[in-house]
Chains A and B, each alone.
Chain A
Amino acid sequence: MLHLEGLGCGYRDMQAVHDLDLNVEAGSITALLGANGAGKSSTLMCIAGHVEIKTGRIIYQKSDISDSTPMSRVRSGIAVVPEGRRLFPRLSVKENLVVGGYVRPKQRSDGGMAKVMDLFPRLKDRLGQTAGALSGGEQQMLAIGRALMSEPELLLVDELSLGLMPKMVDICYDAITALNRAGMTIILVEQNTHRALEAASQVCVLESGHAVWKGSAGEAAGNQEMINAFLGIR
C-alpha cells in the first residue's frame, strides 16, 4: 500500500531522517519505534505531507505522492492523529469532527459521526463541549475520531499513549486494533514499546534518523539486537 524509497526528510537545513526504505502492506499495523529524536514523528509527518522531503520518494497506492500537498493526501485516504492531539480547542467536539470530514461530501458526515460515536460512546455526551475542555483521554478519542471522519485507508498515529491514564490507553488501543480488524492500515509511532509490540504486525526501529532494525512484531519482542537499538546502546 505504501512504499518509502530512500526517504530523507527534515526541517530547513536539518535532515531528521536518512535513506529510509519501508514497505507497509495493506491491512497491517506498522510500529515505528525509537528514542526521542530518532526521526519517527518526522517520518510520519512527512508521509502526511507536513515535513519536507529531501531525498527519495513516497509511493502510495502505486502513485508517487512525494510532491502532493497535505490536502490531496487526505483526499487520497491518508489521515493523521498528530502528537499532542492538536485539536481545534475553541471548536466544539462536533465541529472538530465536521472539520475532520471536510474533504468528504456533507451527506456522508452524519454517517461518519455515527461510526465515531459507536467507537467512542463517551464522546456522545460531549458533542456540544469545546474540545479544549475535554480530558486528555477524551481528547485522544476525539483526535482519532476526527481523523476517521475523512474515511482514511491509511491512518498515521503519533504517540497514542502519551500522557494518558492506563485505562484510556487501553480504550485507544482497543479502538486502533478494532479499526485494523475492519481493514484499515495503520502506522503507529510510539514510545510505549510494550503496547506497540502487542498491537503491531511489523516493526521498524529508527536511531538518529536511520532504520536500524526491521522485522515482524513477534521477532522484535524477543530480539536483543532490536532492544539494544531501541535503547540506543549499540
Chain B
Amino acid sequence: MTHRWRAVQTYPETIYSMLWFELLIQGIIHGSMYAIIAVGLSLVYGLLRILHVAHAGLFTLGGYLGLLLTNATGSLILATPVAAAVVGVIGMIIYRVCYHPILDQPPYVALIASIGLFIAMEEIYRLIFGPYGLSYARPPLQFQVQFFGIQLRAAEVGMVVVSTVLLTALSYLSQKTRLGIAWRATVDDPQMAASFGIDAVRVRYLNFFIGSALAAVGGIYVSLLSNLVEPTMGGVPSYKALAIIVLGGLGNLKGTLIAALLLGIVEAFGTIYIGQWLDRDAIAFALLIVILMIRPQGLFAGR
C-alpha cells in the first residue's frame, strides 16, 4: 500500500521534471538560433547606431545559398562556410552602397533605407527562387540523437554547437586580439580610435562581414530544422531580433546573448503554460513589454 502510494506521488514529478528539462533544451536551441541572428544586428547598432532591419534579408539569403550549395555538392560542411562568406561579402556591399553615403543623416534615414532594402530583398528572392519555397533534396542532419533521455534531431544539436563555437570565436576575437580591441575602441569613440591609427571604415566592413555571415549560418540551420526556405522566412526573425537587442540593451553584445537565450526559454515554457492565450511569436513582445516596464534601458545598459 505504502509502495503504491509512493509510486503515485513520484510519477507526475518525473513527468514534470522531464517536461521542464525538455522545454529548457528546446529553449536553448531556439535561444542559440536567436543569438546568432541578433548578434549581427547588435554589432551594427553598437558601431553605427543603425537598426539594420535588412539583416533578416541576409538571414534568408544564407538559407537559400546553404540549401542550393548543399543540394549541388551534397555537403553541408562545405556549403555552410561558403554561404556564410558570400553573405558576409554581400553585407559589406550593403554597408558600402546603402549606409555609408547616409551616415551623417539622422538615424531614421538609415532605418527607412534598411526597411526598404529588406522589402526589396524579399521581392528579389520571390522573383529568383519563386514564391513557394525550396526544400533540401536530401535534408542533412535529420537523424535522431539521445540527450539525457530526450530525443533531438541532429540539426537541433548542430544549431546549438555551431552557435556556441561561432559566438565563442567572436568573443575571443573581440576580447583577445588586437583587431578585436581596436574594434571595441571604435565602438566606444570612433574619432579617438582613428587618432590612434585604427581605420574606422575597415572596422565597419569587418563588422558587417561578421554579422552577415553569422546571420547566414542562422538561416542555414533554421532551414534545416524546417526543411524549407521561402522569401518571407526573415520576417519573424527580424522582429524577434529587434526585440532581443532592445531587451539586451541596444548594442550590448553580452546582453544580446543573454536576452536571446532568455527569450528562447520563455517562449518554450510559454507555449505550454500560456499557449492557449498567447501565440509563440507574441510571447517575445509580451516579454519585451514586461521587461521594458521594469527596466526601460533593457536588461543591461546599452551603448
Contact = CB atoms under 8 A, between A and B. Distances in A.
Bind each other: yes
Interface of A: 48-50, 69-71, 74-75, 80, 82, 86, 88-91, 95-96, 98-100, 102-103, 106, 146, 150
Contact of A102 (B184, B188, B197): B197
A146 B193 CA distance: 11
Nearest to B194: A70
Contacts of A69: 194
B184 A74 contact: no
A99 B181 CA distance: 7
Given A69-B194, A75-B197, A102-B182, 17 more contacts: A49-B195, A74-B197, A82-B195, A86-B192, A88-B188, A89-B188, A90-B188, A91-B188, A95-B185, A98-B178, A98-B181, A99-B181, A99-B185, A99-B196, A99-B198, A102-B196, A103-B197
Contacts of A95: 181, 184-185
B197 A91 contact: no
Contacts of A70: 194-195
A86 B194 CA distance: 13
Contacts of B184: 88, 90-91, 95
Contacts of B192: 82, 86, 88
A89 to B, nearest CB: 7
**Most chain A CB within a 10 A radius of its CB, from B182, B192, B195, B198:** B195
Contacts of A80: 195
A94 B25 CA distance: 39
Interface of B: 178, 181-182, 184-185, 188-189, 191-199
20 contacts: A70-B195, A71-B194, A71-B199, A74-B196, A80-B195, A86-B189, A91-B181, A91-B185, A91-B188, A95-B184, A96-B185, A98-B178, A99-B193, A99-B196, A99-B198, A100-B196, A102-B178, A102-B196, A102-B197, A103-B196
Contacts of B199: 71
B193 to A, nearest CB: 7
A50 B195 contact: yes
Contacts of A90: 184, 188
B181 A74 contact: no
A138 B198 CA distance: 24
Nearest to A89: B188
A199 to B, nearest CB: 23
Nearest to A85: B192
A75 B188 CA distance: 22
A91 B196 CA distance: 15
A97 B198 CA distance: 13
B9 to A, nearest CB: 52
Nearest to A75: B197
Contact of B196 (A50, A89, A150): A150
A100 B178 CA distance: 11
Contacts of B189: 86, 88
Given A88-B185, A90-B188, A91-B185, A102 B198 contact: yes
B197 A150 contact: yes
Nearest to B200: A71
Contacts of B181: 91, 95, 98-99
A91 B181 CA distance: 8
Nearest to A101: B196
Contacts of B191: 50
Contacts of A82: 192, 195
A88 B195 CA distance: 12
**Most chain B CB within a 10 A radius of its CB, from A82, A86, A88, A98:** A88
A218 to B, nearest CB: 33
Contact of B178 (A86, A106, A146): A106
Contacts of A86: 189, 192
